[in-house]
Amino acid sequence: MRTASAIASDVRSGATTARAETEAALSRIAAANPVINAFTDVVGERALRTAEAVDAAAASGRALGPLAGVPFAVKNLFDVAGLATRAGSRINRANAPAGRDAALVRRLEAAGAVLVGALNMGEYAYDFTGENCHDGPSRNPHDTQRMSGGSSGGSGAAVAAGMVPIALGSDTNGSIRVPASFCGLFGLKPTYGRLSRAGSFPFVSSFDHLGPLGLSAADLALAYDAMQGADPDDPAQAARPVEPVAIAAEWGGLRIAVAGEYFARGGAPEAFAAVRLAAEALGASEVVEFPEAARARAAAYVISAAEGAALHAERLRTQADAFDPAVRDRLIAGLAIPAAWVLQAQRFRRWYRDQVRTVFEKFDLVLAPATPIRAPLLGQTTIELDGVTMPLRPNIGVFTQPISFIGLPVAAVPVWPDDGLPIGVQLIAAPWREDLVLRAAGRLEELGVARVQR
Amino acid sequence: MSASDEENITARAVDTAAALFGVAMQPEWRAAAMMNFATLTGAAGLVLAFPLEDEAEYGPVFHP
């Protein structure tokens, strides 16, 4: 699988065409998807039309966009004109088809990229596994008996299987970073409020983020830059200028630490081995604490359940039996949450944000594991960590939740600590410093510590 | 509070919520919802136990 950067460069130079690249992607999807189950919808005709428009622009001498001819796909909570936005559910597929594409789909296509389809996901994004009781699980291309990770499981599986070089996902509590970790990919969760969420099905408004998964840090940067920019249709978007990232900037001078305490326990040895490899490569010798990280995770857990329950209350009243049982039972519990719990969790959120801000006065980047374990087996329901058996689902997000809780930008990078499966490391920066997390991801790639391999 | 008191509170909370929101709860869902609510209670307990100043506000994004 070639990177998006390589494809776009070849399309721009005339070495290949958008149509050829799109046909190749459609062939790869037809070959691999029956086993991997990453795609729930393939929009082949539309994709070929989009690709032909890119080629026609090239033929008439017009300048091509930075993603010219790059096939991509989106988690099926993004609106795709003509498709019902199912968001992993059975219920939503009865909705009217979307009238227009989600904002980020429009932006990527404006940059020359070619949407080829929509991707499997955990129901309503309330998931870390990539399993789906309606559509079947998306499977991990490194071992198809294992989870892709969720909830953007199809996004991880499609890229790791080489079907498309870029996929978009959403991340509320870890749903980009978890599949990036399990599938061995680069993933970017930008700062909360950075990219427009317009035209995507929500889950927890307080924490919902959208972002790309891909084959390299440069590809993430390319896609991320194409998606930046103000959009009045997203009421939570921050008033920030477009700030293009320059991952090729000279490396050095950054103060980098490893997250200790909470982020140094409760995981398998390989999670910490991966962090050590990244820390050694980047010259990070200091350890820093994110104070009250366990409480931050607890607060994120309460807010997620409450906001998710409020969002789905009417569907729970009318069609509770049509939900994925694992989602339904958590949402019903969420309906019982007292308002004071949620408001206190939100007050704590701001306190925690202020504490973590002081960490980034001393350091530019902080490293932490992305997941406590590598990809578990499909159907697995428990994990054993530090000799204690725990339920699997909630604990997959133990290291991602305290970070997205306060919206910090994170790149998850794929590290291979031994001959086994990959596992991700989070590179975390202060708000709005996506440039730093992507530059560090690029540096780890350059040093061979982070890489995508088939 | 004893374990059975906690279980009673959990059952009442889940049953009340289901009734308030008109959810036609099936018996097999109830046990799972109760387990989930017990986990939420634990998480909320951690949050509520943390002392915050009265002036500590949350971070609203509402723009009038």
Render A355-366 in DSSP notation, one character per residue. HHHHHHHH-SEE
| Residue from the list B29, B56, B59 with its beta carbon closest to the beta carbon of A332 | B29
Q: If you average pLDDT over residues A124-141, what whole number do you get?
A: 98
For the CA atoms of A376, A382, A383, A389, the dihedral, rounded to the nearest 10 degrees, stands at -170
* Chain A to chain B Cβ contacts (< 8 Å): 110
How distant, in Å, are the alpha carbons of A111, A212, A277 from that of A222? 10, 10, 26
Whole-number pLDDT of residue B2: 87
Judged by CB atoms closer than 8 Å, whether chains meet at A337 and B40 is answered as yes
Name residue A196's beta-bridge partners: none
Whole-angstrom Cα distance, residue A185 to residue A167? Answer: 11
- Selecting from A297, A335, A346 the residue whose C-beta is nearest the C-beta of B17 gives A335
Torsions phi, psi for B61 (to 5 deg):
-115, 10
pLDDT at B62: 67
Q: List the structure tokens of A403.
A: 């970070």
Residue A213 near residue A179, CB atoms below 8 Å: yes
Start-to-end C-alpha separation, chain B: 44
Q: What pTM value is reported for the model? A: 0.98
Query: The sheet that has A39-42: what strands, in order across it?
Result: A39-42, A114-119, A71-75, A166-171, A209-214, A186-189, A410-415, A423-429, A365-369, A256-259, A286-288
Q: How confident is the model at residue B63 (pLDDT cuts 50, 70, 90)?
A: low
Mean pLDDT of A278-284: 97
Q: For residue B59, is pLDDT > 90?
A: no
The helix (run of H) or strand (run of E) holding residue A115 is strand A114-119
A225 CB contacts (<8 Å, ≥6 apart)? Answer: A66, A242, A244, A245
**pLDDT tens track for A373-426:** 999 999 999 999 888 999 999 899 999 999 999 999 999 999 999 999 999 999
What average pLDDT is seen over chain A? 97
Encoding tokens for residue A209? 């983020």
Q: What is the distance between the terminal CA atoms of chain A, rounded to a whole angstrom?
A: 9
Contacts of B56 in chain A (CB under 8 A): 347, 350-351
| A213-242 residue pLDDT tens | 999 999 999 999 999 999 999 999 999 999
Q: Which residues pair with A78 in a beta bridge?
A: A200
**pLDDT for B3:** 86
| Residues in CB range of A246: below 8 A, 6 or more apart | A435, A439
Alpha helices by DSSP H, A60-161: 103-110, 153-160
Q: Which two tokens stand for residue A167?
A: 């996929």
Q: Find out whether A50 and A115 touch, Cβ atoms under 8 Å.
A: yes
CB A71 within 8 A of CB A21: yes
Query: Any idea which residues of A carry the catalytic annotation?
Result: 75, 151, 175
Average pLDDT over residues A6-31: 98
What was the ipTM of the complex prediction?
A: 0.96
Q: pLDDT at residue B16 above 70?
A: yes
Is A447 in the B-facing interface, judged by CB distances under 8 Å?
no
Q: Is the CB of B9 inside 8 Å of chain A's CB atoms?
A: no
Nearest Cα neighbor of A114 from A2, A206, A182, A20 is A20
Share of chain A above pLDDT 90, in %: 96
Contacts of B51 in chain A (CB under 8 A): none
Looking at the complex, does the CB of residue A295 fall below 8 Å from at least one CB of chain B?
yes
Q: For residue A158, which of A75, A218, A220, A67 has the smallest C-alpha distance?
A: A75
pLDDT band at B64 (very low <50, low <70, confident <90, very high): low
Q: pLDDT tens for residues A41-91?
A: 999 999 999 999 999 999 999 999 999 999 999 999 999 999 999 999 999
Tokens at A92, concatenated? 């939503």
Q: Is the dihedral of CA A187, A190, A194, A197 positive or negative?
A: positive
Band of the pLDDT at A331, cuts 50, 70, 90? very high
Q: Is B51 on the interface with A (CB under 8 A)?
A: no
Instruction: Determine whether the interchain pair B43/A394 forms a contact, defined as Cβ–Cβ distance below 8 Å.
Output: no
Domains of chain A with CATH codes: 4-227 (3.90.1300.10), 256-446 (3.90.1300.10)
